[in-house]
Structure formats: C-alpha cells, structure tokens
Structure 1
Amino acid sequence: MNLVTDPNAHIQTVKRTTPQYIKSDSLKSSSATNEYFSDYASEVASQKSDASKASYETPPSRISTPLVQHNPIDSEMTLPSRPGAIQPAPLNIRHNQNIGAQTTVRMLSSFDEMSPPTPGVDDTPYIRFAIEQLTRDEDVIGRGRDSTFPAPNVPLPAPRPPVEPGFDDSPQARTPSPPPPTPPPQPVSPRPPSRAPSDIGPQEVMIPVDLSKDLRMRLGYVPLPLRLPILGLYFFLCLLMIAALIFSLVYAGTNHALFDYDGNTTPRYFVFQYLPQLVGILLILWLFVIEAAVYRSLPYYCMGPGRRNRWALQNMRVLPANYLLPDFTFFRNSELLLGVTFLIFWMTSFTIPLLACVFQTQWITDDGPARFRWTTVRGVGWTLLALYILLGLGLLYCAFRFRRRNSNLLWDPCSLADLICLFQRSNVGSDFEQSEISPQPNGQIPPRNLRLGFFTTSERPEVFHGVGEEYAPVKNLSFPPEKPKAIHPSNELGDIEAQRHSYGSAFSRNIHSPFVRYRWTPWFLRDSFVLAWIVAAVLLVIAFLVVSFVKKAVQDGFRPLLPSLTDSSGFSPANFLYSFLPAFLGMVLFLAWQPIDMYYRAVQPFRNLSQPAGATAGDSLLLSYPAYGHVRVIIRALINRDYKVAYITFIALLSLSIPVLAGGVFTAVFFSSDNQVRIVASMPGYIALCVLVTIYAFSYLFIWPTRKRYLPHNIDTIAALLSWLYASPLLGDVALQNIGTKVELVKRLTGSPATPTSLTGDAEVDEKSGRPRRAVRRLAQDTGMRYAFGIFVGRDGKEHLGIDRLQRPGSREMLVVPTSH
C-alpha cells in the first residue's frame, strides 16, 4: 500500500490493486441517485464518534442525475461498489488527519452492493435524505416551483447567522471541517475594497439651520414682476382704467354722449375705436409676465416658511398655461385663492372684445342739430368696470401671497443653472432613479415634505442653501470608484455583455433609443396637428381676402342684418356684433399663438444642448426665455442667434394688433342716398388687418419643430427638469457650490474666478486632504467649456440621459444622439 498526499486537496488517498470495502463506525449512506450523501447523516455520524469524524462535502445539485460514473478524481465522496451494469470505479479514499487509523470508503455503483442494514441503526435519516435530494432536483429544473423570485407580499426568509471560519455554509454540507493549511503567499495587485453605501458608516442627515439675523437677511428674494412696487404700478394702471370707465359712463349719461362723430379715418376715430383695446392688451402682456413669475416661484414658496405642499415638485407647473383655456391646476394643488385669482386673470382676456365695443355712435336729436355722437355703452362699461376691479383684487392677493416673508429664495429660479444650485445637495435625488426616460416622470416621484432654506448635515458643519427633506438621510448617488479590472481578450466579450446587463437591460436600451429620445412634443405641435393648422390657416386667410375684396364688399359696405338703432343706453345690436365678434376672433388667434411661443422659449436650451458640439453656458444653462417679456425675448434671441425663437416671439407680439384692429375697423354708417344703414370698414385699418392676418396665417409654416426640439418627456414641472439632472456630475461640481447671488452664478459659469467660502464665512475644506481650498479654478469659458444633452456617465458610475459637460478630463465625450435636421 502506497500512501500519497495531495497538498491541494489536503486529503490522503490510498491506492489498492483490488477494490476493498472497509466498514467503520461512521454513519454514512448513499443517496437515491448514488452520488449524494446526507448532511443529516454526516451530523449524526459526527455526534456518535469523535474518532470517525470526517469532513464530507456534497456536490451541488444537478438538473438530472447522471447515469455514467465520473472520473474518480472529480468525485467529492466515494462508497464501495460491487460489479454490475457499471464498472467499479477506482478507490477515492479520504483520510482524517486527526485519526491514526485509516478509514476508507468506496463508492457504490448500485444499491445492490450495499451491506445489509446494521442492527440498531435507524434508516429514517437515509430515507429523508433521498426524498430531499429528489425534491432538490425538481427545484433545480423548475418543476417544484413557479418562480425563483419571492412573490409580492411574501416575506423573504430570514438571513442566516454568520458562519465561522472553517465551515461550509452551503446547503449540501454544513458539517465542520478543519481549516485548510495556510497557502504560501502569492503576489497580488493592491486594490481598495469597494464598499456598499450601507457599509460606509452612519447615514448623513440633512438638518435645517435656525436662521440668524445675517442668514435671514440673505433670504426673502421676490421675483421682480411680483415685487410690491411693480404690482403697485400695475394696480395703479388698473385704477386709471376704472377711473376712465367711470368718467365715460357718468359723463355720457348726463351730457348727451361724448363727442361728435367726424368720420372713420380721423384721430378721434382712432381714440374711440382702437386706443381702448390697445391699452387693454398691453396690460394683458404685462399680466403674462406676472403669471410667468407666479408659475416658476410658487413651487418654491410652497417649500418656504408658510404652508407646505408635498406635491410641489410633481404637480405644480413652472411654465405658464393660462392662455386660451383657463388653468385649473391651482385648485388641485390646494391653492384655492390663487386658482380664483388665475381664473380672474383668464377672464381679463374678455376685456379686449368688450373694450372694442364700449364706445359706439348714437343719433342725437335733443342736443342741437340731429347728428351722430360717440357715446358709452352702459352695460358693457359696467361689465368692464367689474372685471378690472376683480383684476385689482387678484393683484392684491398676489402681493400678499408672494410677499418677502414667505420667500426663502436667494434669487429668481428661472434657468437650469438655478436648479443645479438648489438641488446639488438635496436628499431627493434617489427618487428620480430612471425617470429621465419615463413618459410621465411626475407620476413616478413620491410626495415629500420639502423645505427650501439653509441646511447643514450630521456629518459636515458647513451651512448651505438648497432644497431637501428635513431630518432625512442624504442618499447620494456617488459611490467610491473601483479600479477597472484587467480585461483579458478571451473574456472581453463576456465582460461587455455583463456590463450591458448590470444596470437593467431595458433602461440601457431606452436611453440609447431614438424613439425615447425624440418621443415628446406638445400635442398642438405634433406633425398631424401642425399640418392641420397650416391647411386651416391658409384656407381661411384666402377665403377672408376673397370675401373682403371681391366686388368691394367691405369698402362699399354690407347690410348689417341686425337692428342698428342705438337705444338710450348706447347699445346697438349691429355695432356690438361687428365690434365684439371680430375682436373676440382676433383674441382667439392671439391667445392660440402664446403656447407655441412659450414652448419654443422653454425648449431652446435643450435645442442648443442637442447640437453635436454642445453649447456654452450662456446659450444653455443660463438661458431663461420664459421669464422675459416679449420685447426682451426678441432682443436676446437675436443677440444669441436663436432666430427661430425671435421670429416666433415676434409673431406673438405682432398678433396682438389683430384683435385691436378687428374690433374697431367696422362701424354702422347711414347712407342718405339710398336711405339705409350699412356696415363699412375703415380702409386703412382694414388693409393693415389683412396684411397682419396673412403674415399670421403663413407663420404656421415655420412652427414645425425639428428633432432637436423633441424631448423624452414634458418640461412643465421641476420634477420633469430634474429627471435630466439628478445623476449629472454637474450637481457635484465644486465651483457651483456655495453661490450667494445670481451674479456670482453667472460669473462662475462664464469663466470668472471665484473663491468658494461657506455661507457661514468659513473657508471651504477639501474632503480628501482636510485643508482649506485656496481658490477654485475657472469652471467654464464661453469659448471652451461646453455642455450637451445626451448620454453621460453619472455620479453613480452608470449611463444616464440628461445634461452634463460635453467632455470631462479623463473620460470620453458625451454621446449626443445625432439628428437628421
């Protein structure tokens, strides 16, 4: 007998020329499949005799039991066998090093070779083992269960206690085994161990800071259109309109109208027929700016010291929508009074057609010679008076709701760069996981009681300004980076496939999908609707021109088909219809263009970011067209060479003249030659109206958005915008932290050097070295640093779709999905 020691397996094997069977006191059994041993039997054997202790290991279960004997070298255990259908296998003997006697065990090829049952030994453990092994085989091939994942609402199994060294905790072998000898040291490459977020230590919690006098004075910013002096000036103009209406109503009722009628092309005609609605629509343009400020500020006011709203990020719009149809979202967001205010603002649009017909001509016979005189329509005048009083009350509520004490803002949040500053240290970033490709990201974000103000954390003493949930853990997306593993050529394909499926194959496919990237645009700018608008606009303008000039129908006048006689209150059915109806239709055209204009303003930063070469910060992150008035947008867009935005906004401004001219161009005139009343048009005004309507109609040919203006989802809420920023490394840029003013933000993004100091006045400390930072190098240059919208590697080391620098040092350039336009 030759004794051979295998240092790798740490066992001893005995080679014999002929198979032998040695019976020992150890309790062992073969399985129903002739190749497994019972864990339970091993435990019983270990308890019965210390001299017969051996470490048995059961190989993992297989889908089906093999019928052919494996190589004895690969066998984990052996039992004695006798001649049969299968040839006997060579001996594979394990020897316990702690026992002097040699105990050998030979593998059985069938049950017939097993020795008779030992008297006094219970066979129940063997039977249980056989049943267990059969059940495990069924589990492996899937016959014994429906799914490998726990069903919903089913509690997961409790974790097993930690296993001491030297024990195999696999289901097949749980018997103690002696620890293997220490292998000789081998050279290994140093690699820092990666830690899961839960192993880093105690969780960092955001803690609100009790505001001192100095910190409190920094807060309280109110956007310029909502400041008390600006709202006071607008309220004063409303009072002037109210005073003018009251004077006209009182004076016309006591002095036989106002002025004599002197024709339809005179300055007096312009004052009574064009000027009222022109002043009214300028007030509406100003009101649009106030509404836009309310929309973008309200979510942050709902995070301030006043009442909180848990749905501020998801349900509160940041883009105006109170144009052609009223916006009722304020009622759904528990802003009842503000909802009533915006309903009044929407009703203010009716002041334009009412102002167009508030002054009419009246035949006066009891004040000198009979003649036509301009008078005030009493019913229309009192209606306008009520609307302007309601408008003034709405302005007062806005001044009260958006007063300084309710604001925790540092500046007006109107651009993407402002969002980066407000949410760069927020603890809600994990809520936006994979929301960049969701068609409805607002419904994916859970409600949270967010606060806007100064915070500190339980791990860092630094005070910063931002948005977060009080006393909630900071759930950062950034993890300690791991060094890349060496990729062998033979495993390169497998590593690529593993990386592809590591973060969800569906999400990876979607962020690279052109369908997802170019999925969303407003319903009124989809291809079918744009085509319908173009056809309808062109056909209507052609019909309008034909009816107007064929046979001089407008110039010579036409029958009113309604009574034209003006009663004592100044009301004439014919004059009212041909003033109110054209102005109302013109107002519909004017309001219908405003959502188109607002869309092009809001999406322009993303269009610039979608360029293959990206865009500078001034053309993207700092761009805030929705916050400007029409004239300012036109000027800024021309300077920035955003010519399409400039043209769309110019048409939005030009279209206000359509209701102004349409409401005053027609009037009823008595023709003594044929003793009848006809409706005639003031031809200078009518020609100008025809030109403007033609330009307006053919402008629909230019509203077709290119693919660069298509986005994965809407952009009307903070949550929708944050879905493209939550994983961006921009939120971790040191140079964008601790910014106190908007001027400083613009300087940081456009290249001006700045020294970062905390809001408490202390120098900012570097996290790695623990030393104060002296200065932050320039973050961007308009001629160098560029940003893009595409696929980037986020702070968590995974690919995301959103906004980041076009290229960062040491990383590849962002993948900006190419477009065909």
Structure 2
Amino acid sequence: MNLQPDAQIQTVRRETPQYLRTQSLQSSFATNEYFSDNASDAASEESDDTKASYETPPSRISTPVIEQNQADSEMTLPARPGVVQPAPLDIRHGQSEAQSTVRMLSNFDDMSPPTSEVDDTPYIRFAIEQLTRDEDVLGRGRHSTTTPEEPAFGFSPVEPESPRSFSTPTPSPPPPTPPQQPPTPRPQSHIQRKPVPEEVMVPVDLSKDLRSRLGFVPIPLRLPIIASYLLLCLLMIAGLLFSLLFVSSNHALYDYDGNATPRYFVFQYLPQLLGIMLVIWLFVIEAAVYRSLPYFRMGPKYRRYSVLQDLRILPSNYLLPDLTFFKNGEPMLGLTFLVFWLSSFTVPLLSCLYETQWITDDGPARFRWTTVRGVGWTLFALYTLLCAGIVYCMVRFRTRNSNLLWDPCSLADLICLFRRSNVCHDFEQTEVSPEPNGRVLPQTLRLGFWTTTERSDVFHGVGEEYAPIKRFSLQRPQPTQKPSEGLLHPNDAMDLETQQRHSYGSAFSRNIHSPFVRYRWVPWYLRDSAVLAWIIAAILLLIAFLVVSFVNNAVERGFEPLLTSRTDSHGFSPADFLYSFLPSFLGMVLFLAWQPIAMYFRAVQPFCNLSQPTGTDASHSLLLCYPAQGPIGVVVRSLRNGDYRVSYVSFISILALSIPVLAGGVFTAQFFTAENEVRMVASMPGFIALCVLVSIYALSYLIIWPTRKRYLPHNINTIAGLMSWLYASPLMADGAFQNVGTRAELVERLTASSSTPATLTGDPGTAKLGEKNQAARHQRRADRGSGPRYAFGVYIGRDGKEHLGIDRLQRPGSREMLVVPSSR
C-alpha cells in the first residue's frame, strides 16, 4: 500500500549484504530482507523472474554497511550496462511517525538515487574508504592521498531512476544492530603517530669516577715530554751563555785547523743541526695544539663561540705566521705561536754564530774560532721567548683542562665524539659548499659526559647544553601505482611530481653527483698552475746553481766576497755573516715551503684511499692519523700501509732539513798568501752533499702533482669541514662506535672483522667447498679484505636522502655507494 509523501521515516531494518563469488565473477544471489509495515499487514512478493545476478568487483572483500540513525537519502552506485536492474524501492508513507515503515535494500545496486535535499558526500566517502581499506588488507591498497575537500576517485554522477517496488524472499533476519554514525574518513597515506616528547641533552655532573676517565692530553703536550723539550731549550741557552762569557775572558775559543776537520763540523754544522732538531720537535708540539685546541675550548673554563668552524686542526705556522688565534679569542696562544714562528730564524742565526778571527795578541798570529756577540744575544732572547711559550703550553693544556678520553686525530675519533651530538643538523647540505665554515651557526659547545631527558644512560661526546636532539627522520619514497592498476588522485600526481623535482632537480642533488664539485678544491700551492710553476722554477734554479758552482771550479778555487772579511772585536765579519746566514736562510725557506705540502698529503690520504671504486678498510681510512705522527713515524707507517707517495713526501720533509744545515756552514773566508787576498772557499765534502740534496729536492716537485683522488669538495682544516661529510652518514649510528671506552678498543672493533680467519667467518659452505673454490674465495678476500669496506661518494643518509660523504661501500639490503668518477 502507498504511504503519504510527507511521512517521516521511523524505523530501519537491514541485513548486511552477503556475496557469493563464482568463477564468472558474478554474484549468484544477494540475500534481501523483507520489511513489514506496522500500520498494515499487506506484504509485497517478488516473482522469480525478477531475480537477476549482478557483476561484482574481483578484488573486493565484503564490508558491512553501517546502519544510520536518521533518515538520509539513499545513493546508487553507477549502473553497469548489460545487467538487469532490480525493481525500484517502494517507499510508503503513513500519516504519522508511528505508521511509517521503510523497506531497505540489501544490495548496493538497489539503492535509490540521491536526493537534492541531503548531501550524500560523507556516505560516498565512507563507502570508498571501506573499499580501499579492504584492498589494503589484501596488500593492494592505492598509495594515494585523499583530501576531504574533493572525492578520491573520479566517479561520474548517476542519473536518478524511477522508483518501483520489489521484494525477494530472504532467510530469517539476524537481530538488528544498533545504529551508528558513519566515521569521518581520513587519508590513507598519512599515519597518525603519537607525539614524541622532545629529547634534550643534559650535562652530567662529574663524579670522581667520571672525572678519573677524563683528562687525556696528547703525548707531545704531556708534562714529561714537553718538560724534556723545555730542558733542551735551557741547555741551548746555557751553551750560548758559555760561549758568550768564555770568549770575553779569553782570546776566542779554539784554533782553526781547516775546513774538513771534526772541529770544523762542530763549529759550522752542529749548532744549526741542533737548532733544526728543536724546530722539528716544535712542529710536533704545534700539531698537537692545533688538533686538541678545539676540544680544550669545549672544556669547563675556555668556552667560546665558533669552535668547530674557526679553529684550525691542521698546522699552518710554517712559512708565514698563523695569526688566526688573535681573532678567535686566544691572544696569549697567538703570541706563543708567533714566538714559535720566530724560532725558525734560529737556524740561520746558529749557522753564523761562530766565525774565524785573526788573533795576534795571544801567542803567534793565527786564525781562531770565536763567537759573534750580537748573534749570540739575539739567539739568547729567542730561546728565552721560546721557553716562555712552552711554559704557557704546559699550563694551558693541563690535565685538569681536558675532557678528552683519547687523542682525536682520525675520522673514527670524530665519529665517536659526534655520534649522539645535537649539532649534526647544523651541517645540513654543507658537504658541497665551497666554504662550509661560513654556513655553520656559531654556538657554545661542551665536551664531556651527557645524558638525555628521555634516556638514563651516560655517554661521552660533544653537544650544546640543554638543547634538543634533532634526530634525522627517515623519509623513504612512497611506492606509487601505475595508472593502469588503479585511479590516481590528481593531487597525488602533483605531489609525486613535486617530490621528484625537489629530489632530483634541485641544485644540491645535482652538486653531489657533479664531478666538478667532487674534485673542486685543492690548496692553492697544489693547483695545476702552481705545481707547474714550482717545477719550472726548481729546475731552472737547480741548473743555475750547478753551473755557477762548477764552471771553472769557482767554488773550489774560491771567489771574492765583495764585502770586507775583517772580523772586529765582537767577532762580526760582514762577509762571513752574509755567506753563512743567507744560504742557510734560503735553505730554511725551502724546508718550510715543503712542510705544508707534506702535511696536506698526510691529511688527505684517508680520502684518497676512500675514493677508490672498491673502497678500503678501516685501518687505511677511518683510523689513519698521519698528521698526528712524527716525521719518522709517518715514513715507517705509510710504507707499511702501502701509501708510498705519502712516505716519499714525508721523507723529503726530513731530507730537506739538511739543506739549511749544510748551506749555512759550507762557506768560510780564507786568506791566500800567494795572491795576498781573501776569498770565500767552500768545504767540498759538504758542498757536494748540498748539491745532491738540492737536486733531489728540486726534482721532488715532479712527484707532488696531486691526482684527482686527492681533490676534495672543500677544505679540511676545521672540524666543520670534516663533519660535513659525516653528519648524515649511517656510520654515526653504527654499533662499532657505540660505548667506546678507549682508542685501543675502537681500533680493535674496526679491525677485528678484517683480521678474522676465513674458517671463523661463519660461512657454512666453506668446509664443503673444494680446494679450488676455497683458493678462489681466499684470493677474493685477500684482494678486497674480509672486513667492511668504506668509501667516499654518494650514499643514502640517515634521513633517507642522498648525501656526499663517507659511509660503508655497501650495506645489507641497499645498493653500493656511488663513487663519483674523476675527470682524469
């Protein structure tokens, strides 16, 4: 019977749709429910010829339709062509709410068209959410983003159908479920996560146990070692005082007995040889100060800004003085290093400390060795200042001012100090910057023991006090679905395009893959044009020196001094001073000019080994610390490691110290009675040795031409420059660097895997292999090493993005690092 149109809908009863799947992908029957009217006993029956099958999607799981607690307009899914449509819904309205009854359909295709009075959009979204949720259960969800403002799928609007009543016989209905409100749909691609509380680094008060673990001072700066150096300086001062005072009360020191005797060696070669030994030792002390000063500035008393980016960690106080300490808040240390630089002049002055003098008032007239008073007192002043600088270093780098556990001299040490630091984010995208020091914000840092507000463990490292830990969030690209596999929201396509544009088209991504950026920087004195100029100048000067020395036996026969050679009462002779001080000074310039070259080759060798396509092990990369070793130790260690160029360059730096020693004592003024004139004559054994050494030194410039493996994106003279290649590396979270107590433990962890025998590697098939396969396996391990390999190139960082820097060559489940090829 028909109801009035203005009747209210009162009750709703419905059976959850049930689908039966067949091989033809057609639903055979859909159970329908019969709803009766409370006001009437009449019921409508549907004949068998009205039954029809409906096509169902192949990948859907039946989802219960949620009952509504209020009367809303129904919706109809798009009609499929070629399928028999069911009878329309017959809604009969009564005169009152108590007499109204609605008969609901049990199939989505049975729904009536949407009405214009009520918005059906929430119900459509809810139905789509249920369908996509079912697909996600099966693992076939669409990885798209659905926004609430517009539908996620492009369904076309459906024309309303004319209503008609129908009914189907159904089994006994289950008890009705309580009405529910449709849940608000949310995007499938966004996961609601519980907010994580902010983790802050908190310094730990140093107890007696923790304080006993700190206080490491590098060996060259330890009290016994630096006191020994101070003692040698005091002995030099004592020798100077003896020479100055003894010669005043006596007529000179000893008689002159020729230019090829032991006495000649004592007066002309030994003083500058002792002086240059002190200079070499001083270089080792300076190197220790450079690499440890940033960490001492993070101690309890000397905290300053810009420690990571302003303080150098590689020595540079060689040919020119390093005045950067004055602008970095270290005026006393700046004065100390200025004195250290002036101490290089002690070698040329020592070469002219003793000269020959014609003595007539003490027995027969003869030449005797005497001391030049002006040079002696100048050396006394320089060595006194040097002792004062050494004392300041003893006080400045005391144990109580150190919060170090061991000497931070390698890349592995840097990883241990910064692996849990809260300043790693400050180095974002600095790996390709030509000046990374200017991109890091200044801040006050602390070195010591830490804990966090979210964890109770105590660790050692560098950080900013009471600052949050900005962890790298892993952002992996979401898998996308092909257009043929499903519909894609327009916003998803736009987001994907934007992501690809930012990931692959940005300047940063282009720079980390650019060979020009990767091999951009090298010190100015090692650029191609500079090295070519050094080679040409060295060869030309060598040829000129040899020609002038040996043509017509000019050196052996002697030459006119062009200055007066008479020695005054103070022991000063202009000719002797000029031909002793000037050759030694030029030799000292050559010696000092080679030191930055040798230091750069030592510092860059780990990156050279890491730039190999097959990578290298930890002992040849992360653990290398050539700048922290003495010159002889570098030669021995580099020969053992196979770094022959470093070994040769370091050997030349030792060999070059003999040039100012020989050049300062090879010439003396002698009186020739036959010609009745004074000539400058060279000691031929010393002069021949000098010519050989100068020739080796000049030809060594052919060796310093750096290959592209020794080029870097930017300089490495600060901690910030090194951290730019480590801040996002997975090595910062590697278990090998966790809770390391001593450097010996760190070395053992990083080298244990490479020293493990082949039978103990856990390979179950090794014992079953034949002798031939075992030999091949051992050969491969000998070629590549059994431990992890490390490389310098493009890697996937802790944030899921590409970065340029240092990491393992290959990690389980990931692709091998991309080592940017060199242009030559």
Q: Report the TM range for the smaller structure's normalisation.
A: 0.7 to 0.9
Secondary structure of 2:806's partner?
strand
What SS class does the counterpart of residue 437 from structure 1 fall into?
coil
1:282 paired residue among 258, 277, 297: 277
2:116 corresponds to which residue? Answer: 96
Q: How many residues align?
A: 630
Structure 1 residue 783, shift from structure 2 partner: 2.8
Q: Displacement, 1:361?
A: 0.3
- Contact 1:197/1:479 (8 A) holds in 2: no
Query: Residue 189 of structure 1: CA displacement?
Result: 2.4
> What residue is the counterpart of 2:614 in the other structure?
613
Amino acid paired to 2:795:
F
Out of 801, 809, 813, the residue aligned to residue 810 of structure 1 is 813
Contact residue 358 and residue 380 of structure 1 kept, 8 A: yes
Secondary structure in 2 aligned to 1:410?
Answer: coil
Distance 1:471 1:194, change over 3 A: farther
**Corresponding residue for residue 257 of structure 1:** 252
Tell me which residue corresponds to 1:171. none
Question: What is the CA–CA distance in structure 2 between the aligned matches of 1:504 and 1:454, rounded to whole Å?
Answer: 42
Deviations 1:694-718 (A, max 9, x none): 1100110111000000000000000
Equivalent residue number for residue 794 of structure 2: 791
Identical-residue share of aligned pairs (%): 68
1:503 and 1:798 in contact (8 A); partners too: no
Change (3 A) 1:542 1:488: farther
Conservation of the 8 A alpha-carbon contact between 2:515 and 2:823: no
Deviations 1:347-403 (A, max 9, x none): 000000000000000000111000000000000000001101110000000010000
Q: What are the equivalent positions in structure 2 for 1:197-216 lying under 5 Å apart?
A: 200-216=195-211
Paired position in structure 2 for 1:729: 730
Q: Deviations over 1:1-50 (max 9, x none)?
A: xx9xxxxxxxxxxxxxxxxxxxxxxxxxxxxxxxxxxxxxxxxxxxxxxx
Conserved? CA contact 1:353–1:580, under 8 Å: yes
Q: Report if aligned partners of 2:475, 2:800 keep a CA contact under 8 Å in 1.
A: no
> What is the rounded CA distance, in whole Å, between the counterparts of 2:631 and 2:352 in structure 1?
27
Report if the CA contact (8 A) 1:637-1:646 is conserved. yes
Alignment correspondent of 1:320: 315
Asked if the contact 1:541/1:697 (under 8 Å) is kept, the reply is yes
Contact kept, 8 Å, 2:754 with 2:786, in 1: the verdict is: no
Q: What aligned pairs does 1:191-202 form with structure 2 within 5 A after superposition?
A: 200-202=195-197
Structure 1 residues 196 and 434: alpha-carbon distance in aligned structure 2, compared to 1, 3 A threshold: farther
Q: Closer, same or farther in 2 for the Cα pair 1:200/1:748, shift >3 Å? A: farther
- Contact kept? 1:618, 1:782, Cα under 8 Å: no
Determine the structure 1 residue equivalent to 2:303: 308
Residue aligning to 2:406: 411
Shift of 1:464: 0.4
CA–CA distance in 1 between the matches of 2:630 and 2:135?
66
SS of 1:502's equivalent?
helix
Find the aligned partners of 1:515 and 1:353 in 2 and give their Cα distance. Answer: 44
Q: 1:730 to 1:196 in 2, by over 3 A?
A: farther
- Is the contact between residue 215 and residue 404 of structure 2 (CA under 8 Å) also seen in structure 1? yes
TM-score by length of 2: 0.74
Alignment match, 2:714: 713
Matched, 1:348 2:343: yes
Amino acid at match of 1:717: T
Amino acid at match of 1:442: N
Query: Which position in structure 2 is the counterpart of 1:751?
Result: 752
| 8 A contact 1:500–1:508 mirrored in 2 | no
Mark the runs of 5 or more structure 1 residues left unpaired by the alignment. 4-52, 55-92, 100-165, 167-176, 755-780
For the Cα contact (< 8 Å) 1:454–1:463, is it kept in 2? yes
Are the structure 2 counterparts of residues 616 and 488 from structure 1 closer, same or farther at C-alpha, using a change threshold of 3 Å?
farther
Counterpart check, 1:222 vs 2:169: no
Name the counterpart of 2:238.
Answer: 243
Is contact 1:356–1:579 with CA below 8 Å preserved after alignment? yes
Contact 1:222–1:407 (8 Å) recurs in 2: yes
Counterpart residue identity of residue 126, structure 2: T
Give, in whole Å, the separation in 2 of the partners of 1:182 and 1:267. Answer: 104
Amino acid aligned to 1:625: Y
Q: Which moved more, 1:244-253 or 1:492-501?
A: 492-501
TM-superposed CA distance for 1:414, in Å, is 0.2
Which residue in the other structure is 1:111 paired with? none
Amino acid at match of 2:291: R
Residue identity opposite 1:685 in structure 2: G
AA in 2 matched with 1:220: G
Deviations 1:571-602 (A, max 9, x none): 00000000000000000000000000000000
Greater displacement, 229-238 / 472-481: 472-481
Query: Which of 355, 359, 363 is the aligned partner of 1:360?
Result: 355
Verify the 8 A CA contact 1:195 1:480 in the aligned structure 2: no
Deviations 1:213-257 (A, max 9, x none): 101100010000000100100000001100000001111111101
Amino acid at match of 1:702: I
1:166-185 map, 5 Å: 182-183=126-127, 185=130
- 2:729, 2:406 → 1: CA distance? 23
Partner of 2:587: 586
Measure the CA separation in 2 of the matches of 1:400 and 1:198: 54
2:332 aligns with: 337
Asked whether the equivalents of residues 753 and 786 of structure 2 are also in contact (C-alpha less than 8 Å), the reply is: no
2:447 counterpart of 1:458: no
Indicate yes or no: 2:525 matched with 1:524: yes
Query: What amino acid sits opposite 1:425 in the alignment?
Result: R
CA distance in 1, matches of 2:484, 2:116: 43
Q: How does 1:239-638 map to 2 (within 5 A)?
A: 239-479=234-474, 484-486=479-481, 498-499=499-500, 501-502=502-503, 505-638=506-639
Query: Aligned equivalents of 2:701 and 2:753: distance in 1?
Result: 42
Aligned residue identity for 1:613: T
Structure 2 match to 1:659: 660
Q: Give a deviation string over 1:322-349, Cα, whole Å, max 9, x none.
A: 0000000100101000000000000000
- Going from structure 1 to structure 2, the CA distance change for 1:404 and 1:256 (only over 3 Å counts) comes to same
Q: Which is further off, 470-479 or 658-667? A: 470-479
Give how far 1:202 is off. 1.7
Structure 2: runs of 5+ lacking an equivalent: 6-71, 74-112, 144-187, 756-783
Asked if 2 retains the 8 angstrom alpha-carbon contact of 1:437 and 1:712, the reply is yes
Separation in structure 2 between the aligned mates of residue 640 and residue 545 of structure 1, nearest angstrom: 37
1:29 matched residue in structure 2: none
Q: C-alpha displacement at 1:736, in angstroms?
A: 1.0
Shift of 1:624: 0.5
Q: How far 1:753 moved relative to its partner?
A: 12
Cα drift, residue 95 of structure 1: 4.1
**Higher deviation after alignment, 475-484 or 588-597:** 475-484
Partner SS state of residue 188, structure 1: helix
Query: Match of 1:38?
Result: none
- What is the TM-score with the length of structure 1 in the denominator? 0.74
Contact 1:751-1:782 within 8 A present in 2 as well: no
Q: How does 1:15-30 map to 2 (within 5 A)?
A: none
Distance 1:178 1:815, change over 3 A: closer
Seen in structure 2, the aligned counterparts of structure 1 residues 460 and 522 have a Cα distance that, compared at 3 Å, is same
Q: Which amino acid aligns with 2:358?
A: W
Provide the alpha-carbon RMSD of the alignment. Answer: 2.6
Tell me the distance in 2 between the aligned counterparts of 1:319 and 1:517.
21
Which amino acid is the alignment partner of residue 791 of structure 2? A
Change (3 A) 1:178 1:820: closer
Q: Answer with 732-741 or 709-718: which moved more.
A: 732-741
Structure 1 residues 180, 285: closer, same or farther in 2, change over 3 A? same
AA matched with 1:627: A
2:794 alignment partner, SS class? strand
Q: CA deviation at 1:310?
A: 1.1
Q: 1:539 to 1:309 in 2, by over 3 A?
A: same
SS of the equivalent of 2:364 reads: coil
Change (3 A) 1:96 1:178: farther
Q: Measure, in 1, the Cα distance between the counterparts of 2:482 and 2:421.
A: 37
Tell me: CA distance 1:504–1:403, structure 2 relative to 1, closer, same or farther (3 Å).
farther
- 8 A Cα contact 1:302 1:309, kept in partner: yes
User: Over alpha carbons, which structure has the higher Rg?
Assistant: 2
